Chain A
Amino acid sequence: MKKVFVAGGGIGGTIAANRLAERLKPEVDKEDVSITVFDKSENHVFQPSQLLVGMGLENPADIVKNERELLNPKVRLLNGKAGEITKIDVQNHSFVTSDGKSHEYDYAVISTGSTLDWEMVPGLKEEMHTVWDMDGAVQTRNLIRNFTGGTVVFNVARLPHKCPVGPLEETLMLEDYLKRKGLKEKTELVYTYPVAGVFGIPNVNKVMTKIFEQRGIRVISPFTVKAVDPQAKTIESNEGEKIKYDLLLGVPPHMGTKVVGDSAIGDRRNWIPTDKNSLQMKDHSNVYVMGDTTDIPISKAGSTADFESYTVAENITSEIRGNESRKMYDGSVFCFIATGFDTATYIRFNYANPPVPPPPSTIHWWAKLAYNKLYWSLTAKAVV
């Protein structure tokens, strides 16, 4: 029997496992192939909607489901200590789990995601409220509800980070909220970003910078945060800026997961060296890497993992069946960008074709919400 292991039951791992089960259905039914997902948690969080939790539009319980219910019944799921990987041994093709067991694989898909590196910037953890984790999203919602005016600084600490358009969305949604609540005149909204402008892709930066100007949002960039002073309520940059704030929101630095570091398979930020087209781990052809986990210069986003899952599932299927055909990942990404509480735009691009976001509209906003709802029944289950 060929064993396919998937490390991580987040968006990437779940979609990949389900797509593999669908592609390899005859082999799985005959028990020639087994697919196993390893994850410490039983729960699956749709992290893109943490933004909507932070803005008070979603309840935390509505964006969490049981992982088992999302997986194809033929996919084996290991949780708790049995699912918590302590070492990925790519030399010996095995995972070691917290219960002390070693599991040998024929093919591995590593989709362990990213974590927040609060320690990189002194004072950040004490002061910054972030929707990039669930507890922070709930805190953000409560703080915004009780906010009565002052200076709000939104800071992106480092690039790259998960959900790259999230900072644009949170800032513009907050501006819309403040306007609707009659607090706009009592508030200065400041957006700080590590590279010049408000976003890394020139076409998108041009469009979004204009929207920020129209909405009266002050932009300070490049701004690479050096330290936050919780007593003085100031945030300081390597470039020499120091800003006083009443409320600090933002995105902490990101890095790959601890297991990648402990397994010595990543770079110094625990991103795994990955071929940008085949998605194979460099020097290990039976290991595929996807989602936030890779070191590929592409968006760390759920849609990226979804697009990548086609390549991973197709190529593992071909290898198991002895076929020569291989699918190449072309860098496809699709992200909606909320520009308020009832408008949005989007970007769709790949390595070769940069995006041009269309004018914001309510149609795109409703499409964003619909996509989020359909995630559970269509995307996660690899129906589309």
Chain B
Amino acid sequence: MTEVSFTLYKSIDLTGSSCAGVIGELSGVYEELRQGEYVEVLIGADSDKKDLYAWASRVGAKIMKDEKVDKGFRLEVARPK
């Protein structure tokens, strides 16, 4: 369950092909986040999720939610306070 104190900055659908790739697109949005905000991310593949977790660990992003949805996975990625 999403922590009440975190606020949604934006939602991005990364289920399609993009030159920057899932991590390139997400890292761009993550830099826009202020502390206490999160981005809702839709991704399609298991491999993308694995990359996302590795990236989050590297940059210190917090994955608050990870659930299976029709198109793949929905994650909430936050910049910790």
Contact = CB atoms under 8 A, between A and B. Distances in A.
Interface of A: 158-160, 164-165, 194-196, 199-202, 205, 222, 224, 238-239, 267-269, 273, 276, 295, 297-299, 301, 331, 333, 349-355
Contacts of B47: 202
B64 interface: no
A201 B19 contact: yes
A269 B19 contact: no
Among B14, B18, B23, B47, find the residue whose CB has the most chain A CB atoms closer than 10 A: B18
B24 A299 contact: no
A269 B13 CA distance: 18
Contacts of A195: 20-21, 23-24, 27, 55
Interface residues on B, range: 20 to 34
B28 A160 contact: yes
Contacts of B32: 267-269
Given A297-B16, A351-B16, A160 B10 contact: no
A196 B23 contact: yes
A64 to B, nearest CB: 26
Contacts of B21: 195, 199-202, 205
B10 to A, nearest CB: 6
Among B14, B17, B31, find the residue whose CB has the most chain A CB atoms closer than 10 A: B17
A331 B12 CA distance: 15
Nearest to B13: A276
B32 to A, nearest CB: 4
Contact of A201 (B12, B17, B28): B17
Contacts of B31: 158
Given A159-B24, A195-B23, 5 more contacts: A160-B19, A201-B19, A267-B32, A297-B25, A331-B16
Interface of B: 10, 12-25, 27-28, 31-32, 47, 51, 55, 58-59
Contact of B18 (A222, A268, A297): A297
A199 B17 contact: no
B17 A160 contact: no
B42 to A, nearest CB: 10
Contacts of A298: 16, 18-19
30 contacts: A159-B25, A160-B20, A160-B28, A164-B20, A194-B27, A195-B20, A195-B21, A195-B23, A195-B24, A199-B19, A200-B19, A200-B21, A202-B47, A267-B32, A269-B28, A269-B32, A276-B13, A295-B10, A295-B12, A298-B18, A299-B18, A331-B16, A331-B17, A350-B16, A350-B17, A351-B15, A351-B17, A352-B17, A354-B17, A355-B17
The 6 closest A-B pairs by CB, nearest first: A200-B21, A351-B16, A164-B19, A159-B24, A159-B20, A299-B19
B16 A160 contact: no
Given A200-B23, A273-B10, A159 B17 contact: no
Contacts of A164: 19-20
A276 B27 contact: no
A297 B12 contact: yes
Nearest to A239: B58
Contacts of A295: 10, 12
Nearest to A355: B17
B16 A159 contact: no
A121 to B, nearest CB: 12
